[in-house]
Amino acid sequence: MNNLIKAINELKKEKNAIILGHYYQKGEIQDIADYVGDSLALAQLAAKTEADIIVMCGVHFMGETAKVLCPDKKVLVPDMEAGCSLADSCPADQFAQFVKEHPGHTVISYVNTTAAVKAVTDVVVTSTNARQIVESFPKDEKIIFGPDRNLGNYINSVTNRNMLLWDGACHVHEQFSVEKIVELKTQHPEALVLTHPECTEDVIELSDFVGSTSEIIDYATKSVADRFIICTEMGVFFELQQKNPEKKFYSVGHRQFCPNMKKVTLERVEEALEKMQPYVEVPQDVLEAAAKPLKRMLELAAK
Ligand code: 13P
Ligand code: SF4
């Protein structure tokens, strides 16, 4: 493993590459990444890097987002098969048809979508800025929100809106069980429940805090509480534990595992840097159309 890490670091220097990793990556990937973050941070970092090569350790839409924001750079994705069930729940042709059937709506898409879906979108959001961006529109704005119905329902409820929702979901977050959370709460009544907004409404209702991966990590780190039940993908335990070695984090079970995120391995990262592939390709017309709503998000998020 040490040889592998050494080889990755040498290749990185030689190729002027940067390694970006999501909080759901394996610990060993988070360890070798130059930056680890949530979807918003990864997009922001990709947009401003001066490296020639970006190695995106995450799922495919994250690589596509980086490519759209940096069309002149090579964006390596160590495993081309690392997809996302939520992005898959929104085929671009069907979403474009849905948009066509509802004229007069502003289209807001979650970042967990393909570039082709972003290409028919007015503004992209992540779980960190979805509420802020939705609230930047007048209360009576007609909005289509896709593809996550759980995030959409949550934003509808906290902003008191009635956005039209696409019926998609994340197969990981949707499966957390209320029974398991209640059982953990019974065993550890003092523990706070921290939840990602991709979870279902019944899980959100049981929660003390709802936020993106980085917001969950920040909340737990700043909190005076020292026990937490974590309702998002298990990769966050790595950063949570590193930042808070004295605090205790409880898992809601084996369903807390995104198989796509775990496809990235040190071997794959080394091989990608060595061979300069696989890399993300986005057709020029899609790339140009997808860049607009992504840049709009980055501008709105900076306000
Ligand atoms: P974050 O934007 O909170 O990092 O979430 C990304 C994701 O894929 C959640 O399942
Ligand atoms: Fe996609 Fe869900 Fe995995 Fe996040 S956890 S990358 S939304 S499948």
CA of residue 129 to ligand 1 center, whole Å:
12
Distance from the first to the final alpha carbon of the chain: 43
Region class of 276: left (phi > 0), else alpha (psi between -120 and 50), else beta: left
pLDDT tens for residues 117-163? Answer: 999 999 999 999 999 999 999 999 999 999 999 999 999 999 999 99
Q: Which residues approach ligand 1 with their CB closer than 6 A?
A: 38-39, 112, 126-127, 170, 173, 196, 198, 212-213
Q: Specify whether the CB–CB gap between 257 and 48 falls below 8 A.
A: no
Reduced to 3 states (helix: H, G, I; strand: E, B; else coil), residue 239 is helix
Which uninterrupted H or E stretch holds 55? strand 53-57
Residue 141 tokens, joined: 């704005």
Quick: pLDDT tens for 240-256: 999 999 999 999 988 89
Q: Tokens 């909080």 — which residue?
A: 23
**Pocket test residue of 60, 173, 257 for ligand 2, highest count of atoms within 8 A of CB:** 173
Q: What separation in Å is there between the alpha carbon of 247 and the centre of ligand 1? A: 23
Tell me what the pLDDT averaged over the chain comes to: 97
213 C-alpha vs ligand 1 centroid, how far in Å?
6
**167 CA → ligand 1 middle, Å:** 18
Cβ atoms of 260 and 63 closer than 8 Å: no
CA distances from 134 to 100, 119, 141, 144, 243 (A): 21, 19, 10, 11, 31
Please tell me the predicted confidence (pLDDT) of residue 46. 96
Ligand 2 atom with least separation from CA of 22: 6
The model's pTM: 0.96
Instruction: For 18-61, write each residue's pLDDT tens digit.
Output: 999 999 999 999 999 999 999 999 999 999 999 999 999 999 99
What separation in Å is there between the alpha carbon of 172 and the centre of ligand 2? 6
Roughly what angle, to the nearest 10 degrees, separates helices 2-15 and 266-275?
Answer: 30
Q: Are 127 and 198 spatial neighbours (Cβ–Cβ below 8 Å)?
A: yes
Q: What are the tokens at 198?
A: 């991709």
Q: What is the pLDDT of residues 80-90, one digit of tens each?
A: 999 999 999 99
Query: Distance (Å, rounded) from C-alpha 261 to C-alpha 239?
Result: 15
pLDDT tens-place string over residues 93-115? 999 999 999 999 999 999 999 99
Q: Output b/e per residue, 227-238; b: 16+ Cβ within 10 A.
A: bbbbbbbbbbbb
Q: Which atom of ligand 1 is nearest to the CA of 233?
A: 10
Residues with Cβ within 6 A of ligand 2? 59, 84-86, 112, 170-173, 198, 233, 258, 260-261
- Atom of ligand 1 at shortest range from CA of 23: 4
